[in-house]
Structure 1
């Protein structure tokens, strides 16, 4: 009884929906009523994938599925079983290994429908992403990304390679890279570079931006537009200024004095004596900018080597500078230390103490995009370390010498040699106490050397070496005496 009532109610609902005129359209042709299509949608259909597809075969689909959703579902299901895939099967499922253009649906009634999933995903054109029907055959074209391409660079929104399909015209490919870059007011021209079959000769075809030009496989397109140089030029100022952060600048015209003014000026406790200026125009800085460029990111063969080069650039720099030198082993160690400091700093030596004067030479220095200025606080202490009983900063008192700060640190330790050095805070130069008059300044360092204790075996080796030398000299002298007789 209950079953009969349920079936009667379902039939009444179907009739009601049919009479209300709810219908669904598929590529311009009317489908069954909403109620009927809902019932039919519960029945799976059979769709076959063939051609150059890693997992060709027949699969179940729903009549409400479009081809993009169907292919995505099949690919995702295959990737979840990645442990069972071979290397070649995985590579076939990669971004460039699976073509999105040039697909064809062959219906059971003999009709064919071209499919361009890339165009659908960029434009939303549903005619390029039709619904599936029972016994559809989806044919994937043979696709080799290193040959079957058209590349587009220059003043476009999404530069890079596009899969070539026979019949492509210039406007089609420009659409697939999301059109011209609107940051340029006008596009001057488009250059099409076309190689002969041997790849030894190049033909440059120059056309207007709206030209209807048929393309060929392997064409390389460059969209030429005048660069207006309207970029996000900026410099970073951190430390003791009133408005630290990124400061907007112009191209090759903003001075250091203008930057300091935009940063709100120097705070009373800011120190230009210890300020550092780092240039963004270094090789590594320029390479990092290149890696962030979307044009580079689209080309994996460039992104990998550039990133690898950045990781080895410090070591490579040292080797390039040292390979033709005539340095001794001892000098090489010192040179390596100095060069490491240079690479870590990557800064320009600029004396910023004249910045408050707008007429000074340093104030007129032109800054560049990516530069960094660090302005620390004025030092107010002297740092004592090494063989003293308490290491750390001590308040600077004008007129006090090194001995005062050693005493304030608890005096020398038992292992101290008595050799004391003053390391100047600004220049990092070493001055030995006792050899010259040293005036201490805020930010200086005082270092007490430690006596190096040698084990008995060390002195035994030294004595052995000395004895060997003395013995050799004595032997030579005896030989000379004997020859003189």
Structure 2
């Protein structure tokens, strides 16, 4: 009232509706902006849906299933097995141990360090664990996660083949048939190559990239890869021969030196 000081009062909308405040000369009214009101919240849907593109979401409300419905659903050739959800916001984390291990030769690592390096190198940054088949085929609601700004949903084309790599006679892709085992596919591809390690066959799973021993797989899935490793060749004859000569020369030198010492000491 005297003009020597200023008083700031905060009133919520409910208070103003119930108890109107009388304004005086030179009062200043400030209406605050809702935080993040103008922040764009979009997710991207890509791949085998009817209407791929960007879709706006409501914070802490819009679900994965709602967005797929807005995108018109899946096309007939869509692969729910390999469908993925990637989250970019808040997914980048600096791992000093991983960065350190990338600079170290394998020979200087412990087995645990090497296993950690392999696991981190196979990691897919930002990958959100969600099972599209359980959500859209089995209708399990616990898979229906809340989407966040910047999420990317990718629906790839279904793979109706199995890939064979490594020591098989005819590596390549074979049409997937549910009843066939990994040995059946290898036989169809002409059998094992002459340097194949047939007891160390691995299956690379299409949806996770995980390497699994072939004997531990109950059934193959479309898109899986069969890897037949090669038995590394033994040392070449010339390398063995030269190494043997070097060892023999060193032994001869030691024997000669020993004999010289014995003779000199007499």
Shorter-chain TM band: 0.5 to 0.7
How many residues end up aligned between the 2 structures? 208
Q: Distance in 2 between matches of 1:246 and 1:401?
A: 41
- More contact order relative to length (CA 8 Å, sep ≥ 6): 2
Counterparts of residues 23-172 of structure 1 (less than 5 Å) = none
Pairing 1:269–2:101 present? no
Structure 2 gaps, min length 5: 1-26, 103-108, 248-266
Q: Cα 1:320–1:234, aligned 2, differ >3 Å: closer, same or farther?
A: farther
Q: Distance in 2 between matches of 1:428 and 1:228?
A: 38
Within the candidate set 250, 260, 263, 2:58 is matched to 250
Name the structure 1 match of 2:45: 237
The CA deviation string for residues 112-151 of structure 1, in whole angstroms up to 9 with x for no partner, is xxxxxxxxxxxxxxxxxxxxxxxxxxxxxxxxxxxxxxxx
Q: Distance in 2 between matches of 1:338 and 1:441?
A: 23
Q: Is the 8 A contact 1:280 1:368 kept in 2?
A: no
Name the structure 1 match of 2:146: 366
Name the structure 2 match of 1:112: none
Pairing 1:395–2:169 present? no
Q: Cα 1:320–1:404, aligned 2, differ >3 Å: closer, same or farther?
A: closer
Q: Cα 1:227–1:384, aligned 2, differ >3 Å: closer, same or farther?
A: same
Name the structure 2 match of 1:383: 163
Pairing 1:278–2:58 present? no
The CA deviation string for residues 76-109 of structure 1, in whole angstroms up to 9 with x for no partner, is xxxxxxxxxxxxxxxxxxxxxxxxxxxxxxxxxx
Q: Cα 1:358–1:397, aligned 2, differ >3 Å: closer, same or farther?
A: closer
Which secondary structure does the structure 1 equivalent of 2:183 belong to? Answer: helix
TM-score (structure 2 length as normaliser)? 0.66
Which structure: larger Rg? Answer: 1
The CA deviation string for residues 316-369 of structure 1, in whole angstroms up to 9 with x for no partner, is 4725899xxxxx612212211211232x43211122223336661222x11011
Q: Distance in 1 between matches of 2:35 and 2:202?
A: 56
Q: Cα 1:399–1:354, aligned 2, differ >3 Å: closer, same or farther?
A: closer
Q: Distance in 2 between matches of 1:340 and 1:436?
A: 23
- Give the drift of 1:380: 0.5
TM-score (structure 1 length as normaliser)? 0.38
Q: Distance in 1 between matches of 2:41 and 2:142?
A: 23
Q: Is the 8 A contact 1:257 1:358 kept in 2?
A: no
Which secondary structure does the structure 2 equivalent of 1:335 belong to? Answer: helix
Q: Is the 8 A contact 1:271 1:377 kept in 2?
A: yes
Structure 1 segments (4+ residues) deviating >6 Å: 458-461
> Which structure has more strand as a fraction of its residues?
1
Q: Distance in 1 between matches of 2:140 and 2:202?
A: 39
Name the structure 2 match of 1:352: 132
Pairing 1:444–2:227 present? no
Q: Cα 1:366–1:390, aligned 2, differ >3 Å: closer, same or farther?
A: same
Q: Cα 1:283–1:398, aligned 2, differ >3 Å: closer, same or farther?
A: closer
What's the C-alpha RMSD, in Å, of the aligned pairs?
Answer: 3.3
- Give the drift of 1:401: 2.0
Q: Distance in 2 between matches of 1:437 and 1:351?
A: 20
Name the structure 2 match of 1:149: none
